[in-house]
Amino acid sequence: LMQLFRPLDLLGWVYRTIRQGLIDMAEMFRLMDTSVEVEDLPGAPALIIRQPTVVFDNVVFGYEPDRTILHGLSFEVPAGKNVAIVGPSGAGKSTIARLLFRFYDPASGRILIDGQDISQVTQASVRAAIGIVPQDTVLFNDTIGYNVAYGKAGADENEVLAAARDASILPFIEQLPKGFETEVGERGLKLSGGEKQRVAIARTLVKDPPILMLDEATSALDTRTEQDILRTLHRIAEHRTTISIAHRLSTIADAHEILVLDHGTLAERGNHTALLTKRGLYAEMWARQASESQSA
């Protein structure tokens, strides 16, 4: 019975998550692999955001007790600024995203949004404040309209239209015979990587979150599409507190601050120019990527 019960439990949680319009997370964090171990404190209030600052204050975290991944990480993303996180594979970049979503609690240290410790407020209110444009967007076997609208429970037609326009996918949708009613996914229209990404952007715009997390959002696209999408992302990130997790440094060279993570500690920090001057890990990664793109 216990074996039956646990998956059902998880299903209930996933269902509630969907109802709250928070399903974006499912794609990014492969929900089914993520244990549901964080619970709201009894009577926890909702997060209230006036200035969407994000602070990691000496955060220590490991998935397993005997293997620490983040070794006392501190950084601040001021309201409306863009901070990029880079670093070698396995450095802990996605772990930061998972912690900010409170899929896990730190072993010690605090994560604050607008001065409020996210472990002291409801998870739903934390997740509602953060929008994600994941690497790989999963679309539902439903209409394009549905796929955009579901960024926010109860989104109306005008919001969906405006979001599609801002994500630069409206002209594409309007030339389809059935427009927003076009079925997409396995049973319907197949979208290209770039079109899917634009649907994801539109979905995030419908949600209209004060905090944005971009996870190397342009990894599977050709250069021109990538440039187009980057422009769109820059536009929607303006005035929002943004954390970008990047593999390719060219996409984040204009970030307010770049955090270079190495084995769970901050190896370097600064803007692009300052980091190049340091001739450290970032400069090395930059030189390597520049020579790779030249030979490509």
Span from 93-101, 175-183, 192-200, 285-293 in contact with ligand ATP (CB under 6 A): 93-101
Which residue from 274, 277, 275, 250 is spatially nearest to 261, judged by alpha carbons? 275
**Measured from the CB atom, is 182 or 265 closer to ligand ATP?**
265
Minimum CB–partner distance for residue 233 and ligand ATP (Å): 19
Q: Given the complex with ligand ATP, which of 87 and 131 has the nearer CB atom?
A: 87
Question: Nearer Cβ to ligand ATP, position 33 or 186?
Answer: 33
Q: Does 295 bind ligand ATP (CB under 6 A)?
A: no
List the one residue out of 184, 86, 77 whose CA is nearest residue 141.
184
Mark residues 95-134: x for contact with ligand ATP by CB under 6 A, - for none: x---------------------------------------
To ligand ATP, the closest distance from the beta carbon of 135 in angstroms equals 9
Q: How far is the CB of 267 from ligand ATP (least distance, A)?
A: 13
Q: Shortest distance, CB of residue 186 to ligand ATP, whole angstroms?
A: 27
Question: Site mask, ligand ATP, residues 227-266, x = CB under 6 A?
Answer: ----------------------------------------
Minimal distance in Å, beta carbon 136 to ligand ATP? 12
Q: What residues are paired with 131 via a beta bridge?
A: 212
Interface pick for ligand ATP out of 90, 157, 223, 254 (rule CB under 6 A): 90
Instruction: Choose the binding region for ligand ATP from 87-95, 179-187, 193-201, 270-278 (rule: CB under 6 A).
Output: 87-95
Q: CA-to-CA distance for 167 and 24, rounded, in angstroms?
A: 17
Task: Answer yes or no whether residue 93 interacts with ligand ATP by CB under 6 A.
Answer: yes
Are 177 and 208 in contact by the 8 Å Cβ rule? The answer is no
Nearer to ligand ATP, 99 or 155 (CB): 99
Indicate whether 92 belongs to the interface with ligand ATP (CB under 6 A): yes
Exactly one of 89, 158, 175, 273 binds ligand ATP (CB under 6 A); that residue is 89
Residues from 63 through 82 that contact ligand ATP (CB under 6 A): 63, 69
Tokens representing residue 179 in the block: 């427009």
Interacting residue ranges for ligand ATP, rule: CB under 6 A: 63, 69, 87, 89-95
